[in-house]
Copies of this chain bind each other. A is one copy, B any other.
Amino acid sequence: MLGGSAVHFSLAASFFTEARVVGPVGDDFGDDELAVLEGRGVVTDDIERIEGGRTFFWQGHYEYDMNVAHTDDTQLNVFAEFDPKLSQGAREAEMLMLGNIQPDLQRRVRSECAGAEFAALDSMNLWIENERDSLVAAIAETDCVLLNDAEVRMLTGEPNLARAARALMAMGPKVVVAKRGEYGAALFTEEDFFAIPGFLLENVRDPTGAGDSFAGGFMGYLDSRRAAGDSPLGGEVLRQAMAHGTVLASFNVEDFGTSRVSALTMDEIENRLAAFKQMAAF
């Protein structure tokens, strides 16, 4: 079914800002898939269709404890030869999310979007282990890193999350967001630290993409505040962005693939945000 980091991210961000996706797809990515994105107003001009190609494919399963995911099959397909080509509109982005991909590609896209006021980056264990120097160089050119907490530890070689986040900030970014699965997320800046729990849900069907929906809600909300004149580096703005990311992730997991988020309304988001604030207040 339809999924993937860019899809989950852009759908979540679309509730707060205009989102634009850059990436390749194959012949198997048809009108139905495009319609999911366009139905939420996501700009798809930079989706490149590779003739005769097949779209990136991932298959996995979760343990009884759904915090533990296992990959069964990864087919890079059109991603194997991906050469990002940005339209003028994409180059003029004010906020930039560099999805999890080979870090030299992230750097190239970053340099093509030199005017972006705020750039964030995701990555994974594969690049931390095999392309560490490139990844560290990419991180140095961003304002914010969003990683799983285990990845923050692995990248810095520091088992303590707070110290690991500080080591990561020393590489350049002013903001570190450590995603913690169902347990929530933590945010670190030079002068602040913040932890937020996950939303407690009775109905969890599929955690796939939750981290990307979190990032999309986080970045989309940040962009809405930036557009309203606030600095995306402000402590209160970042905390509200963390809450919005958590809420979008909580919807993501309620159904398979993009079903829940693509059919979501702003009313539902606002109601859950209010319930979440009540759930976490003390």
| In the bound complex, CA of A150 to CA of B282 (Å) | 25
Indicate whether A240 sits within 8 Å of B282 (C-beta atoms), given known contacts A64-B159, A160-B204, A183-B180: yes
Q: What is the size category of the interface that chain A forms with chain B?
A: 35 or more
Q: Is A163 an interface residue (CB 8 A)?
A: yes
- Whether A186 lies near B197 (C-beta < 8 A) is yes
Please give me the residue from chain B that is nearest to A238 by CB atom.
B282
Q: Is A242 an interface residue (CB 8 A)?
A: yes
Indicate whether A162 sits within 8 Å of B280 (C-beta atoms), given known contacts A65-B150, A183-B180, A183-B184: no
- Whether B280 lies near A280 (C-beta < 8 A) is yes
Segment at the interface with B among A70-78, A108-116, A129-137, A188-196: A188-196
Q: Is A61 an interface residue (CB 8 A)?
A: no
- Whether A282 lies near B200 (C-beta < 8 A) is no
| A147–chain B nearest beta-carbon distance, Å | 15
| A235–chain B nearest beta-carbon distance, Å | 10
Point out which of A153, A166, A194 has the most chain B C-beta atoms below 10 A from its C-beta. A194
Point out which of A153, A193, A195, A202 has the most chain B C-beta atoms below 10 A from its C-beta. A195
Point out which of A153, A196, A282 has the most chain B C-beta atoms below 10 A from its C-beta. A282
- Whether B161 lies near A200 (C-beta < 8 A) is yes
Indicate whether A194 sits within 8 Å of B150 (C-beta atoms), given known contacts A65-B159, A66-B159, A200-B161: no
Which residues on B sit within 8 Å (CB–CB) of A242?
Answer: 282
In the complex, which residues 197-254 of chain A have their Cβ closer than 8 Å to any Cβ of chain B? 197-204, 239-240, 242-243
Count this chain's copies in the assembly: 2
In the complex, which residues 248-282 of chain A have their Cβ closer than 8 Å to any Cβ of chain B? 277, 279-282
- Whether A193 lies near B159 (C-beta < 8 A) is no
Choose one: B193, B201, B239; the contact of A282 (CB below 8 Å): B239
Indicate whether A195 sits within 8 Å of B279 (C-beta atoms), given known contacts A65-B150, A150-B65: yes
| A204–chain B nearest beta-carbon distance, Å | 6
| In the bound complex, CA of A239 to CA of B280 (Å) | 9
| A243–chain B nearest beta-carbon distance, Å | 5
| A34–chain B nearest beta-carbon distance, Å | 34
Further pairs besides A162-B202, A184-B197: 8, Cβ < 8 Å: A65-B150, A65-B153, A183-B184, A196-B280, A196-B282, A197-B197, A239-B281, A240-B282
Those 3 A-B pairs whose CB atoms lie nearest each other, nearest first: A195-B197, A183-B183, A239-B282
24 contacts between A and B (CB under 8 A): A65-B150, A66-B159, A161-B182, A161-B200, A162-B201, A166-B202, A180-B183, A183-B183, A183-B184, A184-B184, A184-B195, A186-B197, A193-B200, A194-B279, A195-B197, A195-B279, A195-B280, A196-B197, A196-B280, A197-B197, A239-B281, A242-B282, A243-B282, A280-B280
